[in-house]
Amino acid sequence: MWSRTFGVLWVLLLLTLMAADPVEPAAAAGPEKPTSATASGASKTAPPPEAASPAKIAAAKASASKEAAPKDAAAKAPASNASGPNAPPPAANTSSPPSASQPSFPLTSDQIAGHVGETVDWFHHLAPIEQLQVAAADSATRERLHQQSLTAVRLAFQFGKASAALLNTEARQATEARQATDQTASATATKGAGGQKGFAGRLDQAVSDVTQRIDALQAQLDALKEKMAHARAREAETLKAQVAQINAALRLAHEMQASIQDMQSFQANSLVGDNGNLSPLEGQLKDMERSIPELRGGLHGAASAKGPANGPAGTNTGSSSSSSAGAASSTTATTAAAHPADTFREDNAGVIALLTQWFSLHDMRRQLGAYIKETDDLQDEIEKVRTPLVGQVRSVVGDDLSISTSTDPAQLSAQRDALESDTNRFKQLATLLVPLGEQALTLDSAMSTLEDWRNGLENRMASVARYLAIRIGIVLGWIALVLIVSDVWRRATFRYLHDLRRRRQFLVLRRVVVAIALTLVVIFGLVSEIGSIATYIGFVTAGIAVALQNVILAVVAYFFLIGRYGVRVGDRITMSGVTGRVVDISLVRIYLMELAGADLHATGRMVVLSNAVLFQPTALFKQIPGADFVWHTVTLTIAGTADVAEAHKRLKAAAEEVYSKYRPAIERQHAMVQRFIDFDASSPQPEVRLRLTENGLECSVRYPVELDKAALIDQQMLKALRDALEHDSQFKLVATGAVVLRSSDS
């Protein structure tokens, strides 16, 4: 347990020393006591080791990836180049080194990663643009734009990988040149920059150092054991102590080796997404490649068809284009299927639908304009990246295309070597310029498609705005027409209707008609789907009719009450068993001042009834306007032997005599009643009817009476009738018959 802990401490200490200043492996010399003491002291004073978590290992890799690009490229060399002084020499480079006159690569890793990252962002931002409901964007256009975006991002990755390979090649060639001039400095530089980069590279170096130390200790242990076989007793004790010390150091070295191997196993099996032996730029490209699943198959196919970084540029397009198109076909088909045909028609839409459509188109145009600007920025970025490459191509080509006329073999050979070197350099730059040029052409085509979409959106917005203005104008025109008709109606009512009752009825009807007309104009102007609205209104109306049936009946009864033969304020009516004078008639209620008694005097109570009682079985009794009289009946019984004709004559004369006193008032009221009916009604006259009963001859006299003079008239009528019969004995009233007076105004 403690040995494993000491091993971890040694590993961390060794990795820290290697990160600060790499050192050579320990010489194969016997361990001395001071060394052991130092190691022991270091193991005791070293800080506790940190857990080898993925986050800390990734942080260590990020710090190590900040080294210069040449060092990162030099680390691409095999790990055996940095394994110690006994390692074999590096393999010879098959590519010709650049000539002294050739300039270095004009782009940095940050510029290359920035260009590829901007292209990837541009591709990801295309997804919401493809979802826009643009009239000009049919399924074929959407598929073409999707293919163009995939092609553009694929070409960006080709440029990035070719640039990374070129950077690594130049760095490796620079390292090999330094190794050729100074073997010692080359070994030190190789040890500091060789192998993998970052924390993982230091782990590999630590494994190599610990392995060499174990081999040295084992060799030293074997030598001591051989000495012990032939040593004297005094020397044997010293040798035994040395053997024990070497065994302890050997156990510590084995623990260190086990700890480092555990970290390497964790790195290999647990760190998902680790980029292994890739340089920092290649690692960034790999991470960005993972964000586009559609492009993985196409990129792998392009990488296999492309060959080496400095190979011909003509092999990096065909197969990758077909594979990327195949990978995106299903996605494009799904995207196209998710966009149904736009069935919106401006000529049949209402104001609300047109406003909603206009704002939707405005938002789509804003999104499309932002993406067009992003595409334009990407085109500018491509031009910025291409400019230094084109300048270097021009500097490489220069005047080398001219054929020398010299006859000196040495000069011709030197010119041939320069041309071959420039040719190789041109091939390397062509692998960068060709994808950039193709990407620029692809973006030009995508920009043309996006411009067509924006033009289509602007035309659609103009059409929607035009129909919206027309629809609003029509609605305002209808509203103005309704208001004009309403004003004409009001003026005509006040001019031609002088009866206040009829005028009030027409004004109420005008308000109702105008309200309904304005409601219909607004509904038909704002709403598009009239059928759906009608169905909805039908269900709502049915619910309202059930919930408000009494109110609806009251409103309907209101129009019956204010009709030609309806009631008005001041009329005396009998409604639902209540007699009274009408005080007010509202839309749902009628207000009566209660009348009671034979003379119909006011009781002081106000009766409020719902207009809906008009539809109840109980009849409505109404005094005709202007006819303020009632009919009274007086009944007398005389002997059955009396002369019937004489009795009728006497009673008729007596009634006519009394009636003649107030006849003009009754006839005036009758004339007013005649104006409200369409047929001729006979003038009110006293009526005498005789009927023979078992008690005698029953004589009934019916006569009109002014309501306010009913008692006086009844008194005069009774006296006149008695006087007409008492002068003759045959018309004497029988004892069983009594004089009966009753009102018959109902």
> For residue range 7-52, what is the model confidence (pLDDT) as tens digits?
544 555 555 545 444 433 333 333 333 333 333 333 333 333 333 3
- Cα distances from 260 to residues 20, 266, 744, in angstroms, run 19, 10, 127
Per-residue model confidence (pLDDT) at position 480: 94
Give the best-scoring range by mean pLDDT among 23-37, 59-73, 608-622, 673-687: 608-622
Per-residue model confidence (pLDDT) at position 373: 92
Residue 314 has pLDDT above 50, yes or no: no
Per-residue model confidence (pLDDT) at position 94: 36
pLDDT grade for 296, boundaries at 50, 70 and 90: low
Give the best-scoring range by mean pLDDT among 338-347, 472-481, 559-568: 472-481
Please give the Cα distance from 526 to 471 (Å, whole number).
9
Tell me the mean pLDDT in the region 388-400.
Answer: 75
pLDDT grade for 268, boundaries at 50, 70 and 90: low
- Cα distances from 316 to residues 159, 497, 539, in angstroms, run 10, 96, 67
Three state DSSP letters for 41-63: HHHHHCCCCCCCCHHHHHHHHHH
Per-residue model confidence (pLDDT) at position 377: 92
What sign does the CA torsion over 302, 307, 308, 309 have?
negative
Tell me the mean pLDDT in the region 509-520.
Answer: 89
- Mean of per-residue pLDDT scores for the chain: 73
Query: Please, what are the domains in the chain?
Result: 2-19+59-85+110-134+154-291 (no CATH), 295-471 (no CATH), 567-620 (2.30.30), 626-743 (3.30.70.100)
Residue 644 has pLDDT above 60, yes or no: yes
How much of the chain exceeds pLDDT 70, in percent? 70
pLDDT grade for 670, boundaries at 50, 70 and 90: confident
Q: Is 36 exposed, middle or buried (0-12, 13-18, 19+ CB in 10 A)?
A: middle
Following DSSP, what letter does each residue of 100-117 receive, concatenated?
TTSPPPS--HHHHHHHHH
Per-residue model confidence (pLDDT) at position 479: 93
567 versus 656: the higher-pLDDT residue is: 656
Per-residue model confidence (pLDDT) at position 276: 55
Residue 188 has pLDDT above 70, yes or no: no
- Outline where DSSP puts E strands in 601-670: 601-610, 620-622, 629-638
Torsion-angle region of residue 350: left (phi > 0), alpha (psi -120 to 50) or beta? Answer: beta
620: CB partners within 8 A, 6+ apart = 573, 574, 575, 614
Residue 483 has pLDDT above 90, yes or no: yes
Tell me the mean pLDDT in the region 712-741.
Answer: 79
For the ranges 18-27, 234-243, 341-350, 609-618, the lowest mean pLDDT is seen at: 18-27
Per-residue model confidence (pLDDT) at position 199: 65
pLDDT grade for 198, boundaries at 50, 70 and 90: low
The pLDDT tens digits of the residues spanning 114-167 come to 888 898 999 888 888 877 777 666 788 888 888 888 999 899 888 888 888 888
- Report, in this order, helix, strand and coil percent for the chain, each rounded to 5: 65, 10, 25
295 versus 473: the higher-pLDDT residue is: 473
Q: What is the dihedral of CA 231, 235, 238, 243, to 10 degrees?
A: -10
282: CB partners within 8 A, 6+ apart = 161, 164, 168, 275
The pLDDT tens digits of the residues spanning 602-622 come to 888 999 999 888 888 888 888
Per-residue model confidence (pLDDT) at position 67: 40
pLDDT grade for 277, boundaries at 50, 70 and 90: low
285 versus 658: the higher-pLDDT residue is: 658
Residue 481 has pLDDT above 90, yes or no: yes
Phi, psi (rounded to 5 degrees) for 288: -70, -30
What is residue 733's DSSP assignment? Answer: B
Residue 653 has pLDDT above 80, yes or no: yes
Give the best-scoring range by mean pLDDT among 103-117, 476-490, 573-587: 476-490
Please give the Cα distance from 519 to 357 (Å, whole number).
24
Per-residue model confidence (pLDDT) at position 388: 87
639: CB partners within 8 A, 6+ apart = 696, 697, 730, 731, 732, 734
What count of residues does the chain have? 746
Please give the Cα distance from 411 to 674 (Å, whole number).
141
Residue 56 has pLDDT above 60, yes or no: no
For the ranges 262-266, 295-299, 733-737, the lowest mean pLDDT is seen at: 295-299
Residue 422 has pLDDT above 80, yes or no: no
Nearest Cα residue to 643 out of 737, 731, 729, 735: 731
Whether the pTM exceeds 0.85: the reply is no
Per-residue model confidence (pLDDT) at position 591: 92
Per-residue model confidence (pLDDT) at position 309: 36
Centroid of chain to Cα 292: 25
What sign does the CA torsion over 534, 537, 542, 543 have?
positive
pLDDT grade for 402, boundaries at 50, 70 and 90: low
The pLDDT tens digits of the residues spanning 442-463 come to 999 989 988 888 888 888 889 8
158 versus 325: the higher-pLDDT residue is: 158
pLDDT grade for 267, boundaries at 50, 70 and 90: low
Q: What is the dihedral of CA 141, 147, 148, 151, to 10 degrees?
A: -170
